[in-house]
Amino acid sequence: MEAAEIRCFYADGSLHTGDVIDGSLHTGDVIGEQLLQGIEILHVYMVMLAEDYVESKWLLRQLAHMVKCQAVSNGRKVILPNFCNVTVDKCQ
């Protein structure tokens, strides 16, 4: 995926302090603003929406940032939602 310049960010609780993320970031680093800046340069957002997604304020903040970036992109950015064990009506 790195060769294709595909960057993956995930939040499933499995990362621990000292784990390497993306070769340069480590868990425990303050990555909030870096992650939001990374979202701004992406063109395609593949969002995995699971049952507990809406319980995380941080994940909702990321999604809101993606929607904002898409809105000002004049159609150059796209959000591809993937619903995992949840129906669309539960996410509305």
Query: Could you read off the pLDDT of 3-40 as tens digits, one per residue?
Result: 776 666 655 544 444 444 555 555 555 567 777 888 88
Query: Per residue in 26-76, pLDDT tens?
Result: 555 556 777 788 888 889 998 888 887 778 888 888 899 999 999 999 989
Contacts with 69 (C-beta within 8 Å, 6 or more apart), sequence order: 39, 40, 42, 77
Which phi and psi angles does 84 have, rounded to 5°?
-110, 110
Residue among 88, 31, 83 nearest 11 (CA): 31
- What superfamily would CATH give domain 20-91? Toll/interleukin-1 receptor homology (TIR) domain (3.40.50.10140)
What CA–CA distance (Å, rounded) separates 70 from 88?
20
